[in-house]
A and B are shown apart, each in its own frame.
Chain A
Amino acid sequence: MTAKLSGRDLTLFRGERCLFKRLNFALNPGEMLLLEGANGSGKTSLLKAILGMLELETGEVSWNGEPVRNRRQRFHAALAWMAHRVGFKADLTLLENLEFERALRPQRGDDIVSVLERLGIERLRQLPMRSLSAGQQRRAALARMLIADVPLWLMDEPFTNLDRAGRALVFKLVREHLGRGGMCVVAAHQDVDIDATIHRIELR
């Protein structure tokens, strides 16, 4: 049986520097892939390579057993990306930003306000993004993942700027997502406290 998401033989250079060489991974529903390593070790680059934003030197990422480079749209319809930069417009309100997201990828159809309530930011929904704190903006980025109807979450340092309750919330959401048969690829410094099959890639 082929894995849902797999990478085979991945090699990536940035300039002269080799970030990783002949890397392999396989991920199935309910499982998590944890990317570990020091700052600048290439965690974000690996995520971007999986997403197709960076050109790989060798190897191939496959979704449902098919190389994603041939079916980029299909692959992108199945994922949500939580980047280092939140990707919201500072001048639009939280609600306007999330409404725009609805046109970008398949949606679960949940009420946005109830999702914001779960994340504890529903009273900020009419405020422009720029007036939210860094941690509140990260929570807004989580809302983007929650309203999307996608099996694959890719998260770059999801714990940055979050308080203790926020980190616990990320764990809870990831756990639920995995429980639904979702998949997560997470780049993180700290260890994760999640009871699921966790594959690890150590970058150096």
Chain B
Amino acid sequence: MKDADADLGEDEDRIFLSNMPGLMAGLAASTRRDLVLAWKRPGDVLNPLFFFVMVLILFPLALGPSAEQLQAIGPGVVWVAALLAMLISLNSLFSADYEDGSLEQWLVSPQPLPVLALGKSVAHWMTSGLPLVLLSPLLAATYGLPAKVIVVLLVTLSLGTIILSLLGSIGAALTVGLHRGTALLSLLVLPLAMPVLLLGSNSVSLAAGNETHTAGVWALAAYATAAISLAPYATAAALRISNE
């Protein structure tokens, strides 16, 4: 009798696995869905980007056109603007899914929640982090940063925005059920994002001063790796708690 039960179990395992849509299908679908949504509602993507551009244009106007001064503050300003623009874009990450009930559908899906959450973070980075990264060389050039510094800026911003997308998804998941969770979200995410800001802007400053800057870049890469592998699990756990 016991053997028969075991056989049945194995058989069920096989049917279960053959029927299930794959993990990659889940990841691709959740990424694709959010990309299509961003395409249909470009305002959500353009707002943070507009903010980023405005901050970077307004600083030189307010501080005066001294090339030396602009070069000195450039790395810091670009990084702070990027950080804040990412925070702005995070507010709406899960709130729409919560409101319309699609989050509930995710929670009762056999597709692992971390996989779906990772797909959402990928889409979020592609629609908010990547545009910032692509625009930054143009804006950094207006601060008179030399080309090799801009390369460092590109690399650190890419890594930094990936980290911020993932950290932000944890914060957004924790505050999803709350009305006006915006301030709380910033409070949750900013402390975790501080190392990113310090490492990123200092690496760029060091590169501008012709000093070794690779340590900071590697540290950011390590942080990004840790965030990619761990943050989706934290986001998933937070979503389950928030939905109770």
Q: Does B71 contact A (CB under 8 A)?
A: no
Report the minimal beta-carbon distance from B1 to chain A, rounded to whole angstroms. Answer: 13
Report the minimal beta-carbon distance from A88 to chain B, rounded to whole angstroms. Answer: 7
Report the minimal beta-carbon distance from A36 to chain B, rounded to whole angstroms. Answer: 23
Q: Does B181 contact A (CB under 8 A)?
A: no
Q: Which residues of A from 38 to 90 have beta carbons under 8 Å from B?
A: 51-55, 64, 73-74, 76-77, 79, 81, 83-90
Q: Does B102 contact A (CB under 8 A)?
A: yes
Checking B16, B40, B96, B108 against A51 with a beta-carbon cut-off of 8 angstroms, the contacting residue is B108
Assess the A53–B37 pair: CB atoms within 8 A. no
CA distance A52 to B107 in the complex (A): 9
Knowing A55-B244, A89-B100, A149-B19, say if A83 contacts B37 (CB, 8 Å): no
Q: Which residues of A from 91 to 111 have beta carbons under 8 Å from B?
A: 91-92, 96, 100-107
Q: Does B243 contact A (CB under 8 A)?
A: yes
Query: How many residue-residue contacts, CB under 8 A, span A and B?
Result: 93
Assess the B244–A79 pair: CB atoms within 8 A. no
CA distance A91 to B99 in the complex (A): 14
B112 contact set on A, CB distance < 8 A: 73
Stretch of B24-32, B54-62, B166-174, B197-205 lying at the A interface? B24-32
Report the minimal beta-carbon distance from B31 to chain A, rounded to whole angstroms. Answer: 10
Knowing A85-B101, A85-B104, say if A100 contacts B33 (CB, 8 Å): yes
Q: Which residues of B from 34 to 90 have beta carbons under 8 Å from A?
A: 36-37, 40-41
Report the minimal beta-carbon distance from A90 to chain B, rounded to whole angstroms. Answer: 6
B105 contact set on A, CB distance < 8 A: 81, 83, 87, 101, 104
Most buried by A among B41, B100, B240: B100
Q: Which residues of B from 136 to 170 have beta carbons under 8 Å from A?
A: none
CA distance A128 to B41 in the complex (A): 12
Checking B26, B100, B244 against A104 with a beta-carbon cut-off of 8 angstroms, the contacting residue is B26
Assess the B109–A76 pair: CB atoms within 8 A. yes
A107 contact set on B, CB distance < 8 A: 21
CA distance A55 to B12 in the complex (A): 27
Q: Does B223 contact A (CB under 8 A)?
A: no
Assess the B16–A77 pair: CB atoms within 8 A. yes
CA distance A13 to B36 in the complex (A): 40
B178 contact set on A, CB distance < 8 A: none
Q: Does B182 contact A (CB under 8 A)?
A: no
B30 contact set on A, CB distance < 8 A: 103
Q: Does B20 contact A (CB under 8 A)?
A: yes
Assess the A77–B108 pair: CB atoms within 8 A. no
Total interface residues on A, using CB and 8 Å? 33
Which size class do B's interface residues fall under? Answer: 20 to 34
CA distance A141 to B30 in the complex (A): 19
CA distance A105 to B20 in the complex (A): 6
A84 contact set on B, CB distance < 8 A: 101
Assess the B102–A88 pair: CB atoms within 8 A. yes
Assess the B37–A85 pair: CB atoms within 8 A. no
B191 contact set on A, CB distance < 8 A: none
Which residue of chain A has its CB nearest to the CB of B38? A91
A100 contact set on B, CB distance < 8 A: 29, 32-33
Assess the A103–B26 pair: CB atoms within 8 A. yes
Q: Does B233 contact A (CB under 8 A)?
A: no
Report the minimal beta-carbon distance from B38 to chain A, rounded to whole angstroms. Answer: 10
CA distance A79 to B96 in the complex (A): 24
A89 contact set on B, CB distance < 8 A: 33, 37, 96, 100, 102
A73 contact set on B, CB distance < 8 A: 110, 112
B96 contact set on A, CB distance < 8 A: 89
Most buried by B among A54, A74, A81, A89: A89
Q: What residues of chain B have their CB less than 8 Å away from a CB belonging to chain A?
A: 12, 16, 19-21, 25-26, 28-30, 32-33, 36-37, 40-41, 96, 99-102, 104-112, 240, 243-244
Closest 5 CB pairs of A and B: A85-B101, A103-B29, A77-B110, A87-B101, A106-B19
